[in-house]
Structure 1
Amino acid sequence: MSLNLNLLGNKTDYPTNYAPEILEAFDNKHPENDYWVRFHCPEFTSLCPITGQPDFATILIDYIPDQRMVESKSLKIYLFSFRNHGSFHEDCVNMIMKDLVRLMNPKYIEVTGIFTPRGGISIHPFANWGRPGTKYEEMAYHRLLNKELK
């Protein structure tokens, strides 16, 4: 697979709507190794689909790559594309996870949203996925059942 990155090193044009097509991937140079990659994204924003009020969160993305990895600038711009998108917190977390699964087909991935309180309640949704038929599928099930949401 070739290194076909269009965003890295170029001027950034931020999308005004949800844009999963902006995500780019590159080849993992160590697919034979199981290792974690973590993205800590403390400036995530989206809109409440009912009130239109902004929601703020830290998004944590942890994954075990296989052949492809997400390029960080494209991930930043993709996450920025939620800024004017109206979705509930749980929907945002699941959309992010599913878009990254489609892009990379990782061995394992989990996405956590740590949303700031609104109306006295904070929501911390967690979604994960392990490649079906592998030990990573079992890992996803185990981690889901044993997840401590903080």
Structure 2
Amino acid sequence: MHNREKEGLTLLGSQGTTYASDYDPNLLEVFANKHPDNDYWVKFNCPEFTSLCPITGQPDFAAVYIAYVPHEKMIESKSLKLYLFSFRNHGDFHEDVVNIIMKDIIRCIDPRYIEVWGKFLPRGGISIDPYANYGRKGTKYEELAWKRFSEHDLYGMEKVDNR
């Protein structure tokens, strides 16, 4: 039995990858964090995210950044790629997409801390860059969430480089 099978991963290493035609949170797969006693960041950069405007049906393009401090479980990257692809034909506002992604990941892995930032390309002359975060209640991560939220993009430290 391969290590991926022991972890319960079905997508990683699979030669028969299929792409969902609509939003599907069940695509997310997890594996055990081998270092649950350490605080560390895991960051996914997804520069080719697409979804649809729920009103016009026109495509929206974004770079989506997901950063988290894991606890007991972690997100497997191929499943995340397929999950994010499942938004391709899904209609939701930018703000909804960012919050949905964050909440789906929280349900799957219960991280100590997570933030999701969508940097959407302009349409009609306006770009929208929603940011959402969460820190586990009653812990230092709740304090981290407030600090990062209150200082988010305060000094322009995060460059928008997808446009």
TM above 0.5: yes
Q: Indicate the TM-score class for this superposition, using the shorter chain for normalisation.
A: over 0.9
The answer to whether the aligner puts 1:105 opposite 2:105 as a matched pair is: no
Deviations 1:29-68 (A, max 9, x none): 0010000000000010000000000000000000000110
**Residue aligning to 2:96:** 91
CA distance in 2, matches of 1:102, 1:119: 35
User: C-alpha displacement at 1:142, in angstroms?
Assistant: 1.2
Specify the SS of the correspondent of 2:61.
Answer: strand
User: C-alpha displacement at 1:24, in angstroms?
Assistant: 0.3
* 1:28 aligned to which of 24, 33, 57: 33
Specify the SS of the correspondent of 1:97.
Answer: helix
**Residue aligning to 1:62:** 67
User: C-alpha displacement at 1:78, in angstroms?
Assistant: 0.1
User: C-alpha displacement at 1:21, in angstroms?
Assistant: 0.5
CA distance in 2, matches of 1:12, 1:97: 24
**Identity within the alignment, %:** 64
**Residue aligning to 1:81:** 86
User: C-alpha displacement at 1:90, in angstroms?
Assistant: 0.4
User: C-alpha displacement at 1:103, in angstroms?
Assistant: 0.4
Normalising by the residue count of structure 2, what TM-score does the alignment of the two structures yield?
A: 0.90
- How many pairs does the alignment contain? 149
Asked which structure has the greater CA Rg, the reply is 2
Q: CA RMSD in A?
A: 0.9
Can you give the 5+ residue segments of structure 2 that lack an aligned partner in the other structure? 1-5
**Residue aligning to 2:151:** 146
Normalising by the residue count of structure 1, what TM-score does the alignment of the two structures yield?
A: 0.97
User: C-alpha displacement at 1:141, in angstroms?
Assistant: 1.0
Superposition misfits of 4+ residues, deviation over 4 angstroms? none
CA distance in 2, matches of 1:46, 1:64: 26
CA distance in 2, matches of 1:131, 1:81: 27
* 1:137 aligned to which of 103, 128, 142: 142
